[in-house]
Amino acid sequence: MKNAIIFGVTGQDGSHLADLLLEKNYKVIGVQRRSSNPSSQRINHLSNNGNFSLVEGDITDSHSVLNVFRGIDHVDEIYNLAAQSHVATSFKQPGLTWDITGKGCMNILQVMVEEGMFGARFYQASSSEMFGSSYSVSRDGVKYQDEDTKFLPQSPYAISKCAAHYAVRLFRQAYDLHASAGILFNHEGPRRGDNFVTKKITNWVVDFVVWLRDNLLAIEDLIYDTDYIYGKTLTQKFPKLKLGNLDAYRDWGYAGDYVNAMWLMLQQEQPDDYVICTGKTYTIREFLDGAFNYVNINNWSNFVSLDQSLYRPAEVEYLRGNCDKAKNKLGWEPKYNLDMLISLMIDSGLNDKLQNYARHI
Ligand code: NAP
Ligand code: G4F
């Protein structure tokens, strides 16, 4: 039986990766940082699985990383998914973001070397944010990013990810570590954190549909001001969806697909870096079109208000990946397109709400 350690197991990807590895009959040790309240909601379903366990640890503290490794007999695979992963937050907390997202990766690599863990394989969660404002152009004029596109990071988060990415390359060359980096484009799903744009939109749509139903309202009944939507009685009041820049392009895939690519990278004889993406790109406006259309609302303009405080000091305007290398070498392909992703997120949100209703009847 193989052993794997997941740093960042309580996050969106960590929870999907734990599911995948347990299905593959791994023993999985998840590293969870101390918090005053439980952070286990995404992995609660694994609490009775005998092959899954949690240890406390924090990647900003190399002693803590050392303790995690020394507490385990044998490790085959180490996945570093831990990060301060919110780009807007990184402008407000650049030092913390650096310590976790940049230095944290270096801490793990350095402890691996000092402990002589050369038999273990390492995965680093690199990001398409590292490309920032950079892109390549194909012969037919299409802008894209792949493994050869240069990095021009646009946020403290992206700078930290670049540092970690270069650390992986260095440790691979200098110490012959089997260390790979997946340059993953945005990936989403029902387990996505609430303050990322896709989840913020789909959560709002779910809550709005439930509010209409509870108040027996139709779209024709509604009245609008700058911040709120009102029903016929005016006491029925719902806040508009506040968003920032709607014109950025993102290449959005499904997180459940992407963790399989992480695992495939560590099954290769040679470590390497791979772009993982769908190859399609859409603006936030187009995501809004898809999400509102899914619940039969064909114009979202009355429901959304722009909030200047949600614009970032610098933006990544255009992301569209090319994952030919992953397709050819790993045999990996995305299974979800944008429509499937939107329906998955909204249906899951509605199911959760209905189950909550049922519990209270
Ligand atoms: P996420 O949901 O924000 O999860 C981040 C995880 O890191 C959480 O488990 C968090 O723990 C943990 N963590 C934070 N600080 C830590 C520390 N000091 N020590 C130990 N653990 C710590 O992120 P995600 O969407 O799953 O993404 C996984 C990784 O892929 C991240 O590194 C992210 O930057 C990268 N990435 C994500 C995407 C994407 O679109 N999702 C794309 C490219 C790259 P708590 O639960 O306690 O907060
Ligand atoms: O959903 P987002 O916050 O994701 P972002 O910044 O692309 O970062 C995500 O993907 C990266 C991979 O490319 C990961 F490395 C990173 O960890 C994270 O998972 O924002 C997407 C876009 C941005 O252009 C942002 O300006 O949506 C725009 N946006 C507009 N209104 C908003 C909002 N983003 C958020 N979070 N909240 C808004 O209200």
Mind listing the pLDDT tens digit for each residue in 333-345? 999 999 999 999 9
**pLDDT tens-digit map of 95-135:** 999 999 999 999 999 999 999 999 999 999 999 999 999 99
**Cα torsion at 9, 14, 15, 16 (round to 10°)?**
-160
pLDDT score recorded for residue 282? 98
Which ligand lies nearest the alpha carbon of 96? 1
The dihedral built from the CA positions of residue 316, 322, 327 and 328, taken in this order, carries a sign that is negative
Please name the residues in contact with 262: beta carbons below 8 A apart, sequence gap of 6 or more. Answer: 13, 17, 79, 123, 125, 182
CA distances from residue 243 to 46, 94, 286, 358 in whole angstroms, order as listed:
35, 22, 14, 32
14 CB less than 6 Å from ligand 1? yes
113 CB-near residues (< 8 Å, 6+ apart): 171, 175, 177
Query: Which residues have C-beta within 8 Å of that of residue 186, sequence separation ≥ 6?
Result: 128, 198, 250, 251, 252, 253, 319
pLDDT in tens, 139-192: 999 999 999 999 999 999 999 999 999 999 999 999 999 999 999 999 999 999
What is the Cα–Cα distance from 90 to 85, expressed in whole angstroms? 8
301-347 pLDDT per residue, tens: 999 999 999 999 999 999 999 999 999 999 999 999 999 999 999 99
* Residue 121 bridge partners (DSSP): 77, 178
Average pLDDT over residues 4-31: 98
Ligand 1 centroid to Cα of residue 82, in Å, is: 4
What are the backbone angles phi and psi of residue 54, rounded to the nearest 5°? -120, 140
* 319 vs 233, more confident: 319
Question: How many degrees, rounded to 5, is the angle at CA 157 between CA 12 and CA 79?
Answer: 45
pLDDT digits (tens, 9 = 90+) for 245-298: 999 999 999 999 999 999 999 999 999 999 999 999 999 999 999 999 999 999
What does pTM read for this prediction? 0.98
129 CA closest ligand 2 atom index: 13
The pLDDT of residue 30 is above 70: yes
- Does 219 have pLDDT greater than 90? yes
Question: Is 269 assigned a catalytic role?
Answer: no
- Looking at residue 355, its pLDDT comes to 81
pLDDT digits (tens, 9 = 90+) for 64-84: 999 999 999 899 999 999 999
pLDDT digit string, tens, across residues 34-60: 999 989 999 999 999 999 999 999 999
Q: Among 166, 179, 192, which Cα is nearest to 272's?
A: 179
pLDDT of residue 361: 59
Marked catalytic residue, from 79, 126, 129, 180: 129
Which class for 291: exposed (0-12), middle (13-18), buried (19 or more C-beta within 10 A)?
buried
Helix (H, G, I), strand (E, B) or coil at 283: strand
Contact between 179 and 122 under an 8 Å Cβ cutoff? The reply is yes
Ligand 2 contacts CB of residue 310 (under 6 A): yes
